[in-house]
Chains A and B, each alone.
Chain A
Amino acid sequence: MRVCGVTRPGGRRGTGWSRVLVRVAGLVLLLTAAAPRVHAQSMDDAIFMDRRVLCAGLFYTREQWSDYWEGTLKRDNGNIGTLTTTQASWMGAYGVTDRINILASLPYVWTKASQGVLAGQQGAQDLSLGIKVRAFSTPLTTHGTLHGIAVLSATAPTSDYTVDFFPLSIGSASRRATARGLLSFQGRNGVYVNGSASYTRRGNVTLDRVAYFTNNQLFLTNEVQMPDVSDYALTLGYQRTGLVVPIVFTRQTTRGGADIRRQDMPFVSNRMNFTRVDGRVQYVIPKLKAVTVHVGASHVLRGRNVGQSTTVMGGLLLAGKL
């Protein structure tokens, strides 16, 4: 069972005309590089493209918050109002083999505050490249199969956006390398459970000023040490031919960094933690088997130095065999 336009392992993939359409459209999408967010078919799920299958598409996400945590204090801010972050993301995945996929994504991001005078920002954000390997698959009892998956990815900014204007900066501009391990139990009845954990090493970033204050200390340099980030995620999902419905709990922890001080602006190296619940539906259009529609929504339940955001997402992915 694959969602990205692929019906069954070893089964026929789409009708003749849709296969042609998908090959062309998939390539065009790959080459036009518009924008994505890594949610759907992604670095943190158990979905694989079959060998020679290319899957690419566009995602739109809109994230909004009015309340945020200043350290651990939840508050609103009349000079921000509601902060909206919109992303249009291009993403692609390719099956090098049935067990090895390569993934890429690039978002274009817009930010906007509904109140106050601060200017919204926009720009191409960070390019991510990853390789995803299914290390083993083993039947577990008569009820299903356990998969072990490893993902290694690297991310780097593609434009010289500012990181000194949070919460309106479009990203942290930190070069990052992530290692993720994922165990997935896929039940024969369609229910599946994933558990994953990742560790992200983050490179330092530079500001356009010669001094800054964080961690209760004045730093006389333009270089900011970026704490690493780890997360773990638990997914409970249901899948059948052409449909995947996961619910994901994610907990991200920043391993260092300072709290936002009282009435201060956020800073790029803040300790940004959150617990988020995320529901998605990934659906293959029956008459257009190469096309997968993604819709989803997520909400931050608890956090520290982040907004209590609600995100809605929609995407369209096309898959085809090259």
Chain B
Amino acid sequence: MRRASILPRVMLGARAASLTLMAALSLSCDKSITQTETLTPLEAVSTDASAGRWRMIVLTSPTQVPVPAPSAITSPAYVAELAAIKAAQETITPVQRERVAYWSGGGVLRWNQILRGLVARYNLPPAPRADGSYVFPDVNNPFGDPAFPFANPPYAARAYSYVAVAQYEALKAAWAYKYQYNRPAPARSDTGIRRLMPISDLPSYPSEDAVISGVTVAMLQALFPAAVEEITRRGADQREAALLAGKASSSDVAAGLALGRAVATLVLARASADGTGAAIGTPALWAALADSARARGETPWRSLETPVRPPMLPNFGRVQSWNLTATDVVAIRPPAPFPTASAQMLTEVAEVKRTVNGLTRAQRAIAEKWNDGAGTYTPPGHWNDIAAEYIRDARFSEVRAARAFALLNMAMHDASVACWEAKYTYFNPRPSQLDPSIRTDIGLPNFPAYPSGHSTFSAAAADVLGSLFPSAASQFTAMADEAGMSRLYGGIHYLNDIKEGKAHGLRVAAFTRRFAESDSAR
């Protein structure tokens, strides 16, 4: 009897064991993850031979920086350069092959990925000190605590735009000289040189890879000085890859590097005078902003952080834009938000509360998808992420890819300037300030609510991307609308912030589109 009754129980145990084992085994042994946005070797649909005549942005002309004529391909010096490439290819190491593969997807796209990583790495606010005060990041002490920079959304928007514009300027200059000197790529001059990357009939002097590395390394060293070592190493890898691939000779690389660096110097001169240095403001300014709101009969924004943190970059609205004048910025400013004591505002606050209290899982997912808060590549980085796959799939030449990123990021920098100008004009409180019972589903940004930065950035980005990729325009608009609404779901914006932010972003983008329509690149 006893044995008979035990058997089914043992079987029950066995079933439980097998169930447990199955669950364990379903955790497959391979935990490696596949990253999206992989780059395939770039075979551009066009070399864009006329790009040397496209409209410049910072430089006065594509040949503002002189590039001396190269030696003839029959010269002993050049023949020696070709022999050196062959010798290097003979002894190429697996690590070098990986680097060639890494850079073969296009330097503009690859550096954009690297830049997004740098922004995410440095997008952390300063920690409070024991006495409750905050120290601002110091460019002269980039490795300190806090590290420099705090790559918050305005800083990031500006950084993305400066890198993209500098690359675009340098490549247009490179294209002008390429078609002036018409020196073929080494692998085209000498059939003994293997092609380890796709090599088009684009002239190779100066090397576009070296131009990109020279200009980008110089820009990034200024924007992210604590990452100088990694940035410098990657730049050297890119130039070596072009050489090993049979794409550029050492004189192509040397001329490209010099041109890239010289263009960066010119662009950095603009950056150093664009007003960013004063964007943080002073305690007197912060107090004046609140006083001004009170004088208008409004409840002024205040930081809800503990300890209270100074507002983020209150003077960023005075930073130089790319395609708007300071007068334009004021002229397109959104109308004033609902007065904080008005019935409409009460309705808006109630709507936020109703939304967060009844939040669905799908709405939470949208809030998290577009959160792009501290420690991430920011909303402008998110739009670069979106753009990168379209640019890759369009197989743009390096100079056209640089144009696409330049247009996108000029629009987002301008959106950032215009949005911050409006935010600090109105100094409007966040929902949790007007109703402390509103709990947020994402981090609460430490700056005024109206208008929504996400909505402004996203509308501007979607509009410019839609002009570059018209067949996807409606998708970009849908994404931008979702990004805007994500802020209501997160409990950090009123619906009116989102609505007016979107309209504002479209007004900003119109300035970039006007530039793009007359730059001879269409």
Which A residues are closer than 8 A to B by beta carbons? 51-52, 75, 78-79, 81, 96-97, 100, 102, 115-120, 129-131, 152-154, 156, 160, 162, 164-165, 175-177, 201-204, 207-213, 216-221, 223-226, 261-265
Contacts and interface: CB of A to CB of B under 8 A. Distances in A.
Interface in B113-155: 113, 116-117, 120-121, 124-128, 145-147
B368 A162 contact: yes
B369 interface: yes
A79 to B, nearest CB: 6
B306 A116 contact: yes
B20 A152 contact: yes
B361 interface: yes
Contact of B12 (A102, A130, A165): A102
A177 B27 contact: yes
A214 to B, nearest CB: 9
B296 interface: no
A164 B368 contact: yes
Contact of A117 (B20, B372, B432): B432
Contacts of A220: 35-37, 113, 385
Contacts of B370: 209
A177 B23 contact: yes
28 contacts: A96-B9, A97-B6, A97-B9, A115-B306, A116-B304, A117-B438, A117-B440, A118-B439, A129-B19, A131-B17, A156-B23, A160-B361, A177-B25, A202-B27, A203-B31, A207-B368, A208-B365, A209-B372, A211-B377, A211-B381, A212-B376, A213-B120, A213-B121, A216-B121, A220-B35, A221-B33, A226-B31, A263-B127
B117 A217 contact: yes
B369 A79 contact: no
Contacts of B491: 119
Nearest to A120: B439
B145 to A, nearest CB: 6
A130 B120 contact: no
B35 A102 contact: no
A208 B370 CA distance: 9
B307 A210 contact: no
Contacts of A207: 368
B52 to A, nearest CB: 33
A209 B35 contact: no
A277 to B, nearest CB: 29
A305 B113 CA distance: 28
A213 B117 contact: yes
A210 B305 contact: no
B26 interface: yes
- Ranked nearest first, the 10 interchain pairs of A and B with the lowest CB-CB distance are A78-B306, A177-B24, A154-B23, A119-B439, A218-B117, A96-B13, A213-B120, A208-B365, A263-B127, A208-B368
A148 to B, nearest CB: 17
A73 B102 CA distance: 37
Contacts of B117: 213, 217-218
B24 A263 contact: no
Nearest to B114: A218
Interface string B361-397: 1001110111110111100011001000000000000
Interface string B1-19: 0000010011011001101
Interface in B58-91: none
Given A100-B13, A221-B33, A226-B31, A175 B375 contact: no
B17 to A, nearest CB: 5
A164 B121 CA distance: 18
B173 to A, nearest CB: 30
A223 B30 CA distance: 13
B444 interface: yes
B13 A102 contact: yes
A221 B36 CA distance: 6
Contact of B305 (A78, A81, A153, A176): A78
A213 B365 contact: no
Nearest to B375: A264
B10 A96 contact: yes
A218 B377 CA distance: 9
Contacts of A209: 368-372, 376
A263 B10 contact: no
B441 interface: yes
Contact of B33 (A100, A165, A213, A223): A223
B470 interface: no
Contacts of B12: 96, 102
A50 to B, nearest CB: 12
A306 B253 CA distance: 50
Contacts of B126: 263
B38 to A, nearest CB: 9
A201 B366 CA distance: 30
Counting chain B CB atoms within 10 Å of each CB, the highest count among A162, A207, A211 belongs to A211
Contacts of B440: 117-119
Given A52-B9, A218-B121, A264-B375, 5 more contacts: A117-B439, A118-B439, A203-B27, A211-B376, A218-B117
